Amino acid sequence: MRTRLGGVNALYPTPTVLVGAMVNGRPNFNTIAHIGILNYGPGAEGARELISVAMARRHFTPQGIREHGQFSINVPSEDLIRETDFCGVVSGAKEDKSSLFTLFYGELPAAPMIEECPVCMECQLVDTYEVKGYHVFIGEIVETHAREDALTDGKLDLSKIRPLLFDMSSRKYWGLRPEPVGDCWRIGVGLKKERQGK
């Protein structure tokens, strides 16, 4: 027995990020959960990795992204839950949110990043789609900055990053389980062999 929910998006959780941009000459950060991965590795046309960010047009941050064509994606850990939520309930049009954080910059001058976040990506805007009240910004990741304490053997370690997972249904932030559930591209191989009768 199943219940029909209508066209409810059941793809959550998504990571909660702080999108940084330079708006009216000031760094601003907007909490965003509607973020997507568009590819992996260098594309056929030599593109770097691409990411999408869906941001309501009425927000303050889009002005800066459209003006400069640059933005950052900062991944907060569970420790930054209050600041992250704050950036999602207060607009930069009313308050200076940048004073919450220690800022740093990489290659892109209009992509302010947050020192307190374990991982930050600076992105060059490559495309913008208009979708019913939203800008969907497509950014190419120019550089990724990770704190040492977010890495194990030089690789990003989710158990150290401890991202805030967003769920629209419960409207809560969720944490990761302490242990992964299985190995991608491996855990299904046993079933594949079983079905092939091996």
Ligand X SMILES: Cc1cc2nc3c(=O)[nH]c(=O)nc-3n(C[C@H](O)[C@H](O)[C@H](O)COP(=O)(O)O)c2cc1C
Under a CB-based contact definition with an 8 Å cutoff, are residues 135 and 55 in contact?
yes
Paired with 73 in beta bridges are 19, 121
CA torsion 147→150→151→156, rounded to 10°? -110
Nearer to ligand X, 93 or 158 (CB): 93
33 binds ligand X (CB under 6 A): yes
Q: In the set 36, 67, 93, 104, which binds ligand X (CB under 6 A)? A: 93
54 binds ligand X (CB under 6 A): yes
Q: How far is the CB of 55 from ligand X (least distance, A)?
A: 4
Q: How far is the CB of 160 from ligand X (least distance, A)?
A: 22
Q: In the set 90, 103, 156, 176, which binds ligand X (CB under 6 A)? A: 90
Kindly give the residue spans of alpha helices, DSSP state H, lying in 54-188.
61-68, 81-89, 158-161
Rounded CA separation 11/6 (Å): 14
Q: How far is the CB of 19 from ligand X (least distance, A)?
A: 8
Rounded CA separation 40/107 (Å): 22
**Span near ligand X by CB under 6 A; candidates 58-66, 70-78, 110-118, 185-193:** 58-66
Return residues touching ligand X (CB under 6 A).
16, 28, 30-34, 54-56, 59-61, 85, 88-93, 166
